[in-house]
Structures are given as C-alpha cells and as structure tokens.
Amino acid sequence: MPRTPSLALAGALTGAAGIVTSQATAWLLRADNPPVEAVASAVRDLTPGPVAHWLIQRVGDHDKPLLIAGTLVVLLALCAWTGVLARRRPLVADLVYVVLAVIGLLSVRRLDDSTIGSTFAVAVGFITWVVVNRFLTAPLLAPDTSDGLARRDFLLRAGGVVVAVAGAGIVGRISNQRRRDVEQARDLVRLSGQRGAVPAGANVKVDGLPPWRTPNDDFYEIDTVFAPPLIRPSEWKLRVHGLVENELVLTYDNLVKRKQTGAWVTLCCVSNEVGGDLIGNAWWAGVLIREVLAEAKPLAGADAVLQTSQDGWTCGTPLAALTDDRNAMLALEMNGDPLPIEHGFPVRMVVPGLYGYVSATKWLVDLEVSRFSEIDAYWTKRGWSEHGPVKTQSRIDVPRDGSDVDAGMVGVGGVAWAQHTGIEKVEYQLDGGPWQTAKLGMVPSLDTWVQWTGDVDIDPGPHTLVVRATDKSGYTQTAVQTDVIPNGATGWHSIQFDAR
C-alpha cells in the first residue's frame, strides 16, 4: 500500500505535536514535572542498577539528554505506528495513546512534587494525539481520491499542524523563559538570609510528626491562579492609598532598606478540614505593615485594608490587625530564602491570627485603606465570612488514622494551634475514657502551632483516639462539627487504629 509511509509520517507528526503541546502546557502552567522528563526519569529509575551503571559509565554526563532523546525516539516510533493503525484500527491507535498517557500520568505522579499542571499537560498531549491523528490521516484514508490529491491535502494539513504546534511551543517557551528570568532575579536578591532558630524543645520526640518548621518545599499551597504571577523585584511596586493622608508607592529596594523584622508564624487555610494539612509554620521576615501604615496615616473611619495581588485576587483585613502590636508583615523571606514564587515572590502579607483568605495576599501589589462596608473581596463575594480569625484547633498525627500499631505503650502526638491567642492545654482521649493532659513542646510566641505528645497503654483490637485543645483565652474546642465554609471548621479530630 503506497500510502503507508505517509501514514507513518502522519503518526510521527501527531506524536511530535502531542509532545510539543504537552511541553508547552507544562511550561505555561510552570509545572514542576514536564511529562517527557517525568517519563525519562521513570525509565531511569526503573532501569536495573547494573544496567544503569553500565550505561552511565559509557555515556557519562550525557545520561539525561540521552535518556530524553531515547524516550522521544521510542515514543515517535510508537506514534508512527499509530498513524498506520489509523487505516484499519483507529481505536487501537487511540488505545496506544491511552497507554502512553497513562504511562505519562504514572510517571508524573510518582514524582512527589508533581502538580496538577503536569497532569493537565499529559491530558493536553493526549487530546492532541487523538485529534491530530484523525486530522492528518483523514485525507490518506479517503478511498476515492487520487493518490496525488490525497498527498496534497495531507501535506497542507501537516503544514498547518506544524505551524500551529510550533506557535504553541514558542508561546510555552517564552513563558518559561520569563519564569527562569524571575528565578534568576530571585537568586540574586540579597536579604537577611536568617532562617530563624527553632526553639529548643519545639520538636517533641515522636516519630512521624511533621517538623515544627515546615520546609518551604513542603509548605501547603493555596491560591486561585493557574500559574503564579512572575514578578521581577525591579518591576515590583506597592501602592498604599485610599483613606490615608499620605499616599505611598514603595519599591522592592525601598522595602529592603527598611528595618527588617523576623518572626515565627503559623499560616493556615480556612478550608482546612478537621485533621487536615493546610497549615504550615515558617520563619517570615520583612517589614512591619504598621510602620508603613504609620507613614501613610490612615484617616478616621477607616477599618479595613483591601489587598490586591498582581493577578487581581483581593482580600480584606481589619485595619486594627495591621496596626496593633502583632507582627503583621510585608514578608520578603520565608525560612531564610527570598519568598518562593509559589508563595508570593517578591512580597506577600503574613498576619498572625487570621486565616490566609483574609490576610495572606501573595504577589501583593496594592493596599487600599478602606471600610468593610465598602469592600467586597474575592472569597467574601463567594459566601465566606468577611472576618476570618483562626479557630483553635488540634490534630493527631501519630498514630495515623487507619494504621496498625503494636499493643502496649504507644506514643501519640500531633499539633495544636490558636495563632495570636496561644495554646494553653491539649488533651487526648482513648476509647471514650478520661481526658489525659498532653505534654506540649516549646513555642517562641502565641503565633505558632505547638506540638503535643502523650502515651496510651493499649490492648489488641480497634481503638479511637480524640484530641482537643484549650487556648489561652480559656476556650476549649467544641465537639460540634461545622463545615469549613463560611469561616473555618470546628470539631474534634478523631482517628481509628488497630493494635495487634
């Protein structure tokens, strides 16, 4: 059949098109693990040790590019075959794409820092394959056109695909270039670099508890952007305006030259379910907002500050929380590094005691002093409360819910938080028995979570462990379970485990 080489070419082109659109998507979404790289690294990791060793000895430093090239060659060969399959078994061709996409997904997923962006990139590549294969092979499969006409139609379509895909690739590449530029600018920023000393005794000795200081890479990420804004510090400006006597415009340099303050603050999300992990603790450093606001001089009657991020997200914070003695900050640093891009580089807000959705604006560019009666922020428009003070909460981390442990004395532990109020006491209860008082780790202030630990003597069989905290205002967590919306979940964290 004379059209077979053209079909194979159509298939290979289809393969390349999907790879390019998927890579462009990964770049656009700043995905951590572009699918092709993820597959290549899966291939590397799954290669038996001796074989890998032998290969590395032969190719030295070139192992990564070679691996990627090898992955691409295999992929394109398979895709050429799908072009040929399109003639008699188009569904088998689709099945090949499904298998390739699943391999892509599994490869992306096994890298633990994989994001939704990488998954999305795989999906875009898959759809490209399914659609483009049909589009390119259609003229070659038309039975009643002459070979010459079929080929001309095919070449036209192929040209169109190449142009479209090259365009997508270029757009993706340019956006990735911007990311690298901003990463580079971030690397060049010179700030205090102080990581904050973890207080002695903050980390209690229970295996399986997350560290008291949350490393930046493990810090939860919540925002409404598909890809984070990319802002060079040299381009960044903060406008402070509204109900103020002096309007201000601050540059990054200006902030860097001001007095820097560092503090341990635990940040948490209003959407955190009881027992959830949308919470992290870091050493934040930057400029106290109250000092900036003191220069701007809020007018009488103002009670709110509306923040806007580069991407247009907004939130409103009580003016009082930004001018009282707490460490409400324009943060430039997180655990001694310039803010990671995902956590708001170059400047974000951090306000102890308030949920992130009403205080922790990332990629901050605008502060408008105002009145609550006059503002409507992103989440308050969507049914969440105007005010979002953090609710006193506690969590069991050890043992894990649903785990098996050895009967006898078992160490238990977790964290509790009531930022800017402070945790007074944590109690735990086994199988509905008496509440026992937990030992608490050290904390530097009221603004961080505290680790708690205790032990229970358990018989073989199923068990339930419950925790509750009392804060320094004297309030003990209610057992009443409420939903996260409109202003944060309540209820006790309870877990089940088995002893053997």
Handedness of CA 450, 451, 455, 456 (dihedral sign): positive
Q: Total residues contacting ligand MTE (rule CB under 6 A)?
A: 18
**Site for ligand MTE (CB under 6 A): which residue of 21, 82, 115, 309?**
309
**Site for ligand MTE (CB under 6 A): which residue of 135, 219, 435, 475?**
219
Give the per-residue contact string, 318-347, with ligand MTE (x = CB under 6 A; - = no): -------------------------x----
Closest CB 361 distance from Mo ion, rounded Å: 11
Residue closer to Mo ion by CB (options 315, 322) is 315
Asked if residue 405 binds Mo ion (CB under 5 A), the reply is no
Residue closer to ligand MTE by CB (options 223, 427) is 223
Closest CB 482 distance from Mo ion, rounded Å: 16
**Site for ligand MTE (CB under 6 A): which residue of 45, 217, 221, 245?**
221
Say how far apart CA 251 and CA 370 lie, in whole Å.
Answer: 22
Closest CB 307 distance from ligand MTE, rounded Å: 8
* Six token digits for residue 218: 């493990």
Give the per-residue contact string, 262-281, with Mo ion (x = CB under 5 A; - = no): -------x------------
Distances (CA, A) of 189 to 192, 234, 313, 338: 10, 10, 25, 7
**Site for Mo ion (CB under 5 A): which residue of 222, 248, 407, 442?**
222
Ranges within 346-365 binding ligand MTE (CB under 6 A): 356-357, 360-363
Burial of residue 188, with CB atoms counted within 10 A of its CB: 0-12 exposed, 13-18 middle, 19 or more buried: exposed
Closest CB 43 distance from ligand MTE, rounded Å: 33
> Which residue is nearest to ligand MTE, using beta carbons?
356
Closest CB 363 distance from ligand MTE, rounded Å: 5
Residue closer to ligand MTE by CB (options 90, 336) is 336
Say how far apart CA 293 and CA 372 lie, in whole Å.
Answer: 17
* Six token digits for residue 407: 């009967």
Nearest to 338 by CA among 411, 422, 282: 282
Q: How many CB atoms lie within 10 A of CB 219?
A: 17
Piece in contact with ligand MTE (CB under 6 A), picked from 136-144, 183-191, 218-226, 461-469: 218-226
Residue closer to ligand MTE by CB (options 219, 435) is 219
Ranges within 249-308 binding ligand MTE (CB under 6 A): 267, 269
Strands 364-370 and 237-242: parallel
Q: What DSSP designation does 211 have?
A: P
Instruction: Say if CB 112 and CB 65 are below 8 A apart.
Output: no
Distances (CA, A) of 260 to 150, 184, 288, 329: 70, 23, 8, 10
Say how far apart CA 58 and CA 53 lie, in whole Å.
Answer: 9
**Site for ligand MTE (CB under 6 A): which residue of 4, 194, 224, 496?**
224
Give the per-residue contact string, 385-414, with ligand MTE (x = CB under 6 A; - = no): ------------------------------
Q: What DSSP designation does 62 have?
A: G
> Which residue is nearest to Mo ion, using beta carbons?
269
Ranges within 430-489 binding Mo ion (CB under 5 A): none
Residue type, 455: D
* Six token digits for residue 91: 């569904």
Closest CB 117 distance from ligand MTE, rounded Å: 15
Asked if residue 417 binds Mo ion (CB under 5 A), the reply is no
Query: Computed over its alpha carbons, how large is the radius of gyration of the chain?
Result: 28
**Residue whose entry in the numeric block shows the structure tokens 């069991």:** 396
Say how far apart CA 316 and CA 360 lie, in whole Å.
Answer: 10
- Going by C-beta distance under 8 Å and a sequence separation of 6 or more, which residues neighbour residue 214? 280, 281, 282
Asked if residue 227 binds ligand MTE (CB under 6 A), the reply is no
Asked if residue 97 binds ligand MTE (CB under 6 A), the reply is no
Distances (CA, A) of 15 to 9, 19, 58, 72, 264: 10, 6, 29, 9, 50
Closest CB 216 distance from ligand MTE, rounded Å: 9
**Sites of contact with ligand MTE (CB under 6 A):** 219-224, 267, 269, 309, 311, 313, 343, 356-357, 360-363
